[in-house]
Amino acid sequence: MSCFCLRPKRTSSQEKVFEEHKKKVAQENGKRLGLKDDDDLQFLLAGTKLIKIRSKSWQKSRYFSLMEDCRTILYSSKKLFKKDQTFLIDDIESVRKGRQTEGLQKYTDPSEEEMCFSIMFKGHNKCLDFMADSKEEADRWVSSLQKLINHVDNLNKKQKREHWFISCMRKADKNKDNKLTLKELKHLLRHVNIEVNDTYAEEIFKKCDTSNSGTLEDLEIEEFYNHLTKREEVDVIYAKYAETQGEMSAGDLLNFLLNEQREQATMESALKLIEKYELDEAAKQKKHMTKDGFIMYLNQEDGSIFNPAHSLVYQDMSQPLNHYFISSSHNTYLMEDQLKGPSSTEGYVNALMKSCRCVELDCWDGPNGEPVIYHGYTLTSKVLFKDVIRAIKDYAFKTSQYPVILSLENHCTVEQQKLMAHHLINILGSALVRKPLGDTMPTNLPSPEELKGKFLVKGKRLNKLDAVFSNNNTVEEETVSEEDEAADCKENSQKAKSKKSKIKLATELSDIVIYCKSVHFGGFEHAKDNQSFYEMSSLKESKALQLADTSATAFIHHNMDKLTRIYPAGSRTDSSNYNPVPLWNVGCQIVALNFQTHTKEMQLNQGRFRPNGFCGYILKPAFQRSLSSQFNPQSLTNGPWLQKKILHVMVISAQQLPKVNKDKEKSIVDPLVKVEIQGVAADNAKKMTNHIENNGFNPMWNEKFEFPISVPELALLLFVVEDYDTASQNDHIGQYCLPLTSVQNGYRQVPLLTKKGVSIPSAGLFVHIMLMDQQ
């Protein structure tokens, strides 16, 4: 996140012209962002001094300001020859007011709370901590940055691409004269990830240099941009349907929506799209859609592969908890690996902000009588239990209102367990479920809707739940069998004890375990005869995958009225993940993954939970909830689950793919696209395009694939874009995953995300999708 700014020597008059030019550029970019003459934007452009805080001793004053591109914050060091530092507005995840990070809590005084704020970055475990001169200045920075972030986020895809291109052009314009020479043009082409030979570059340059001045400026640069971003594939589609004076009438658009997009469209919906996306007022008056309006439609949510109706909570949320897949995290406190990585409250913040609804707390005795959380028998750092609970309370319901399960792995002595219960009750207050809902003993789990804004504790309990409704609810502190995962932890540390080892359990902690009582799994028949609806088991991945393979139907029936949690094997010391799909296939609700490890498995998890408002709960298919169901994902028979389809995928093109190696200007990607189905075993398949040499800007494939699908309700569609390499493993460029049930047919734009699940603003794939019944 740094660059070296060479400051050319300028005379005072040249400096004045240069500053006026910067001001004009800032005004243009502010207007593009919808912030023309905005006071908050002007505040950021002017900038102020802030104290940057790294430690108790490293707290230094730096001048921070927004650059004229309105997308980059720059700050300078006082040291001679020290690089100026920059970071992009696009990279900011959030701005936190006050002392909300571990750094500010450690290195500043509580009296300085109102002068502090932090900037958190997407996809990184990084933040910048600041102290302003006053509360008012801190408030202004926070509100101004939040406003700018919101405006940047709300740009449509076309505007983001234009803004990205203009930023690239500014970087190519070495002497900052707002003109492009042929040399600068070649530099720009490499910067936007496209390699062309010198002859072609000269040809483009001459074509656009209508003034014959030897440079491109103003309208000539606009013409160059239009030439470079021309979408021949879109031109062909538009021309096919634009049958009214060279434009699409509402009727033409309706034909396109019905015939190509296979939508249940009406004339009214076609008119709404014209009103929403057409920018030309004259065309809008005629109820026409121009090519620019059509491109705008394709680049927005209506033209996305992801059904926009599924971006909101659309499923029935009134069914019992066990009827849902629940987004779940393992070792939530870890930021890296589970041998020596740091533990942090930020792990919980990151997971909860991604709508994770089940987090793990690995609890151990700490110094000064205070329980701590860390990965036992390892060198991972420790974090106070009470600090974790405070962080969970602050961030649990920012992205989803549905309940959060606190999965306790308890290794503490009775005294520290009592303190754990005290912190849970005091910090979470009325949001903590401490007794069953209603006045009588329930017969099934409550629904996500009934538990909105609530916390459930998963752990050991000393007695049955119905004891809550009897007068005799006093239980002396006694021993219970240790949690399966805790026993595994000991086993993997080579300090193995019997898995039936006992721990003493404090009544206070036992009493706040209501709907998620941990019990040992003794087999499906044993569970059927002995396990109550509120009792749940945790299974190691290997055991769970074996059961999914050999006893799939029994596993599905077990999960129809009970919760099951799956966790990664302790041998995964690098915090890698297992494939969650086979376990979702048998109805396991809490399939816990290492959220800090950005692998394909986490991309599948993000795809699974993308629909339903990204709320962390997905209603399982009916055949995984009905007691009469005989569904077996390993051996498909006739039933409501069998809906044989053919998925046709045509990978047409990509736009503005990012460089893999940003440090090497001449490094241009050779992109290829992998298309994969993950679902029941019969549906799993992967296809791949050829690679396109030296073009990450507008590569075109036009390659068709077919995938037979048997159980579409469990299938996930995954796109992965890679940079082809003959000598080594391909580099990852971008990915996107979603359930097949949320895919829109027709010509669609596929947004691309980084490995860490962060949106790449300017990039995307253009595909044609058709899901049809098998003949």
Q: Which residues are annotated as a binding site?
A: 52-79, 331, 360, 362, 409, 458, 460, 538, 565, 668, 670, 694, 723-725
CA distances from 568 to 251, 252, 446, 545, 678 (A): 55, 53, 27, 11, 20
Burial 666-675 (b: 16+ CB within 10 A, else e): ebbbbbbbbb
Tell me the helix, strand and coil percentages in the chain, rounded to 5.
Answer: 35, 25, 40
Q: Are the CB atoms for 427 and 484 separated by under 8 Å?
A: no
Annotated binding-site residues for Ca(2+) read 331, 360, 362, 409, 668, 670, 694, 723-725
What is the CB neighbour count within 10 angstroms for residue 484?
21
Residue 711 burial by CB count (10 A; 0-12/13-18/19+): exposed, middle or buried?
buried
**For 15, how many CA atoms within 13 A lie in the half-sphere containing its CB?**
6
Whose CA is closest to 716, among 686, 745, 757, 756?
Answer: 686
Is residue 411 part of the annotated active site? The answer reads no
Catalytic-labelled residue, pool 163, 375, 411, 691:
375
Question: Is 743 exposed, middle or buried (CB count within 10 Å of its CB: 0-12, 13-18, 19+)?
Answer: buried
- Identify the active-site residue in 330, 411, 423, 558: 330
Kindly compute the dihedral angle of the four CA atoms of residues 277, 278, 281, 285, in this order, to the nearest 10 degrees: -100
User: Known catalytic residue: 375?
Assistant: yes
> What phi and psi, each to the nearest 5 degrees, are found at residue 770?
-145, 115
Cβ 712 vs Cβ 664: under 8 Å: no
The CA angle 242-246-250, to the nearest 5 degrees, is 45
Largest CA distance in the chain: 95
Q: Where would I find the beta strands (DSSP E) of 515-561?
A: 516-518, 535-540
> What whole-number distance in Å separates Cα of residue 343 and Cα of residue 774?
51
Contact 478, 505 (CB under 8 A): yes
**Cβ-based burial of 482 (10 A; exposed 0-12, middle 13-18, buried ≥19):** buried
Phi/psi at 480 (nearest 5 deg)?
-130, 160
DSSP letters for 12-58? HHHHHHHHHHHHHHHHHHHHHTT-TT-HHHHHHHH-EEEEEESSSS-
- Binding residue numbers for substrate: 52-79, 458, 460, 538, 565
Taking only Cα atoms into account, the Rg of the chain, rounded to an integer number of angstroms, comes to 29
Gap between the Cα atoms of 312 and 309, Å rounded = 6
Amino acid making up residue 166: I
State whether the Cα torsion 337-343-344-350 is positive or negative: positive
Q: Which residues are identified as catalytic?
A: 330, 375
